[in-house]
A and B are shown apart, each in its own frame.
Chain A
Amino acid sequence: MFKLANKPIDPRALCDAVRDPAAGGFASFEGWVRNHHHGRNVASLEYEAFPALAEKEGNRILEKICADHDIVTARCQHRTGHLQIGEIAIAIAVSAAHRDAAFDACRAIIDSIKSTVPIWKKEHYTDGTSVWVKCHACADHGH
């Protein structure tokens, strides 16, 4: 189950949600707000989603990856709003009978989410400027 969260994510609760007597392996991934990007000093990050489609697409990704790998349960939460350095932006929890499936699925989930779920990130820098990440890079070589 994929959910957007506008409050801090509790990774322990996510881990508990995938516990299962049939699971022998657990893998998780957390994306944290980092204080630098491409050599610039980042002060904070702002995430904005197209909520209805973000949750629909996030759930499609989880369903597909659970079907492709031998997974017991997977959960993912993605933050929206203004996040400070060190906060959790995304947390993924996967349980499986064996470790390979858990590791592989966890990796596949974060990669897919980054490529198609409609969530955008604005970086606020310590010099007071801010930029929507990626969108700017794609804005046609600076016309």
Chain B
Amino acid sequence: MKGLLLVGGKSSRMGADKSELVLRDGLSQRERGIQLLGCVCNEVYVSTREESGAENTIADAFGSIGPLGAIASAQQNDPDSAWLVLACDLPLLEQEHLTNLTNSRDTKKDATCFTSATDGLPEPLCAIWEPSSMNTVRESLDAGKRCPRSLLLSLETNSLSSPGLWPLANTNTKADLLEIKARLNKSTLLKTISVSYFAQLRELTGTSSETIKTDSETPAGLFEEIRAKHSIPLKRKGMMVAVNGDFTDWSHPLAEGEDVVFIPPVAGG
């Protein structure tokens, strides 16, 4: 089995290259990803958006179309190998999670993957993609369907139970980074937050308000907890959040006793 580290994201929400962030052990996320994969794979390759000529890199052969294009490029590079695909921005992922994944590998399935704690769907970017998935990957790309998660849903997968909310949490935004750093520093504090729900969220949660004990540092972390708790199919992107009755940033530092309202895209008028 070969390892493929995905570093080619645009990091548009972070405003900086995620793969160069140094969060643990003095290693950049890129270096740490290579190290993690190296423990369970014979060879490790880094996926890049453009041809770099560097050793052990695989450039996107289908244009800059995201992770599924990167997976297809690796499969084209070696169609006979299984690929353990890993996003570089999972700072709370431990070696034991990858060991668990590889030990649980089922070569008769198209993929072995974890289940997401937030939505119960397969996690495509910390998963083993078997050679048998290759044709479906290519067909999907040819049809303009670039979502690796949707694709996994259409494959025969060996889905492992979720390792929890945080091991597969990525650093897409500044708020994500605050949550992850607090967990790395073990500086999280338990606090009581009251959350009110309106409209679609009220219906999905089945309540208009609840009190939650949380160690999340920001509304972003709290929303991920609530998504997992109530199986909410909405994502933070496009939503707003209010704390104590007014809009605030997703990276607002939550304090004991604050009132939080999550605001899906509005539709007045």
Are A and B co-members of a single complex? yes
In the complex, what residue of chain B is closest to A142 when comparing beta carbons? B150
Assess the A48–B198 pair: CB atoms within 8 A.
Answer: yes
B221-264 interface bits toward A, Cβ cutoff 8 Å, 1 = contact, 0 = none: 00000000000011100101010011100000000000001011
Contact of B119 among A117, A119, A141, A143 (CB under 8 A): A143
Q: Does B206 have its Cβ within 8 Å of any Cβ on chain A?
A: no
- Asked whether, in the complex, the Cβ of B264 is within 8 Å of the Cβ of A143, the reply is no
Question: Counting CB contacts under 8 A, is B268 at the interface?
Answer: yes
Given contacts A139-B234, A143-B119, A143-B121, contact A114 B266 (CB under 8 A): yes
User: Is chain A's binding surface mostly helix, strand, loop or mixed?
Assistant: mixed
CB distance from A79 to the nearest CB of B (A): 10
- Kindly state whether residue B54 has any CB partner on chain A within 8 Å: no
Complex Cα–Cα for A116 and B264 (A): 10
The answer to whether B266 touches A134 (Cβ under 8 A) is yes
Chain A residues positioned under 8 Å from B53 (CB to CB): none
Rounded to whole Å, the gap between the CB of B146 and the closest CB of chain A is: 10
Complex CA gap A54/B268 in Å reads: 10
CB distance from B202 to the nearest CB of A (A): 8
* CB neighbours of B245 from chain A (8 A): 52-53, 56
Given contacts A50-B261, A50-B263, A113-B269, contact A132 B199 (CB under 8 A): yes
Does residue A42 face the partner (Cβ distance < 8 Å to B)?
no
B residues 38-94 near A (Cβ < 8 Å) are none
Contact-residue bracket for chain A: 35 or more
Whether the pair A48, B268 counts as a contact (CB closer than 8 A) is: no
Task: Indicate whether A89 reaches chain B with its CB closer than 8 angstroms.
Answer: yes
Q: Complex: how many Å from CA A133 to CA B245?
A: 24
Residue B174 is within 8 A (CB to CB) of chain A in the complex: no
Q: Do B266 and A119 touch (CB < 8 A)? A: yes
Q: Is the CB of B150 within 8 A of A143?
A: yes
Which of B233, B247, B261, B267 lies at the interface centre, i.e. has the most chain A CB atoms within 10 A of its CB? Answer: B267
Is B1 engaged at the interface, CB distance under 8 Å to the other chain?
no
Interface residues of A in 23-53 (CB under 8 A from B): 31, 47-50, 52-53
* CA A119 to CA B235, docked complex, whole Å: 18
Within 8 A of B (CB), among A80-111: 89-90, 110
In the assembled complex, A78 has its CB within 8 A of some CB on chain B? yes
| Chain A 69-85 interface mask (CB, 8 Å, partner B; 1/0) | 00000000010000000
Contact check, B242 vs A114: say whether CB atoms are below 8 A apart: no
Chain B interface residues toward A at CB < 8 A = 119, 121, 147, 149-150, 153, 196, 198-200, 202-203, 233-235, 238, 240, 242, 245-247, 261, 263-269
Q: List 22 A-B contacts (CB under 8 A).
A: A48-B202, A50-B196, A53-B242, A53-B245, A57-B247, A114-B269, A118-B240, A118-B261, A119-B267, A119-B269, A120-B268, A132-B200, A133-B267, A134-B266, A134-B267, A135-B200, A138-B264, A139-B233, A140-B233, A143-B119, A143-B147, A143-B153
